Amino acid sequence: MYTTLLTEVRDGICIITINRPDKLNALNRTVMAELDQAVAALIADPAVRGAVITGAGPKAFVAGADISEFVGLSVEEGKALAKKGQDIFARIEQSPKPIVAAVNGFALGGGCELAMACHFRIASDLAKFGQPEVNLGLIPGYGGTQRLTRLIGKGRATELIITGATIDATRASQYGLVNDVVSPEALLEKTLSILQVACGKAPLAVAHSIAAINASYEPGGFAAEIEGFGACFGTEDMIEGTAAFLEKRKAHFQGK
Ligand code: COA
């Protein structure tokens, strides 16, 4: 179905593997278009409750946007490329179903930006993170200046972006860029196990949580939380969840 992605649904969780290992899974136009399709498809598929994004091969999650596609672009074409990349990554961030990055190696440039667009990140101890665009005479264009600053703070983000430095998984964990660091062998199972917990909860409450958390970066964040909290009172799952607690039984959520 896809030429640059592998997809598999395991126990209701879609595993998307970016599959260009000979190019360290660099994000060319085809990967970006297919990633966008795959995310749209999992959002629309009622059998899928969450997703993992990872990279093929032992070396890289994603080593960046495909640099060969930058050659000869005009200022307007550069802007259009950034806009398109930002739109695709925004769809990931705004997914009502949780999408987690399992970072198995280099997450550089667009790869770090892709990981940051996911709802959170689990890393293998081989992972390396950075925004090395300055080495190419560029700046991050797929949301990196914004999401890295939000995730690790302005001082650390500025240092990383203007030096182009790469940090290892331990440092990324200290910075709060990743939630956990595990061995490469344990990475996928660890990521799936966290997602399984979230996917056992009320799907609409998970979706409203993600939307309200995303809104924390906007002026209306607290108002968005009020809307989401209120909307949950109109769901069957909230009636079921509260009743199950009071009746001392396990809740059975339907996503309604
Ligand atoms: N775009 C296009 N091709 C890329 C790429 C990228 N972002 N990152 C790696 N590749 C390709 C290399 O050109 C090479 O292809 P080739 O075998 O046809 O020559 C292949 O992937 C393997 O990469 P290589 O550089 O040989 O591996 P390495 O282990 O020596 O180095 C990195 C790994 C990640 C340090 C190095 O590939 C690198 O610096 N990549 C670019 C990172 C970057 O600047 N990303 C931001 C882009 S905006």
Cβ atoms of residues 5 and 42 within 8 Å: no
What is the Cα–Cα distance from 143 to 121, expressed in whole angstroms? 16
Cβ of 66 below 6 Å from ligand 1: yes
**Distance of alpha carbon 239 from alpha carbon 246, whole angstroms:** 11
CA of 76 to the centre of ligand 1 (A): 26
**Residue 41 CA, distance from chain mean position:** 16
Q: Which tokens in the block code for residue 110?
A: 């667009």
Cβ–ligand 1 distance for 108 under 6 Å, the answer yes
Fold of 5-199: 2-enoyl-CoA Hydratase; Chain A, domain 1 (3.90.226)
List beta partners, residue 126.
Answer: none
CB of 106 closer than 8 Å to CB of 169 = no
Q: Give yes or no for residue 141 CB within 6 A of ligand 1.
A: no
What pLDDT was estimated at residue 58? Answer: 94
Region for residue 98 given its phi and psi (left: phi exceeds 0; alpha: psi -120 to 50; beta: otherwise) = beta
Residue 20's pLDDT is: 98
Active site residue 93: no
- Compute the average pLDDT of residues 29-45: 98
Residue 26: band (very low, low, confident or very high) from pLDDT cuts 50, 70, 90: very high
Rounded CA-CA distance 231/104 in Å is 37
Query: What average pLDDT score do residues 211-240 get?
Result: 95
Which pLDDT does position 1 carry in this prediction?
87
What would the mean pLDDT of 7-20 be, rounded to a whole number? 97
* pLDDT confidence tier of residue 60, bands split at 50, 70 and 90: very high
- Is 113 catalytic? The answer is yes
pLDDT digits (tens, 9 = 90+) for 72-109: 999 999 999 999 999 999 999 999 999 999 999 999 99
Model confidence, pTM: 0.97
* Catalytic pick among 76, 133, 185, 227: 133
